[in-house]
Amino acid sequence: MEGRFQPNRGWVGCKLNLATDHITTGTSMAIMAAEGITRERIMIPLDFNGGAFKWGINTSGTMFGGKDKMAFLW
- 66, pLDDT greater than 90: no
CA separation (Å) from 17 to 23, 55, 72, 73? Answer: 15, 15, 24, 21
Q: What integer is the mean pLDDT of 54-64?
A: 91
Query: Which residues, in sequence order, are CB contacts of 64 under 8 Å at separation 6+?
Result: 70
Select the more confidently predicted residue: 1 or 22: 22
Q: Is a pLDDT exceeding 70 seen at residue 1?
A: no
- Tell me: the pLDDT tens digits for 30-49? 888 888 888 999 999 999 88
pLDDT recorded at residue 62: 92
pTM: 0.76
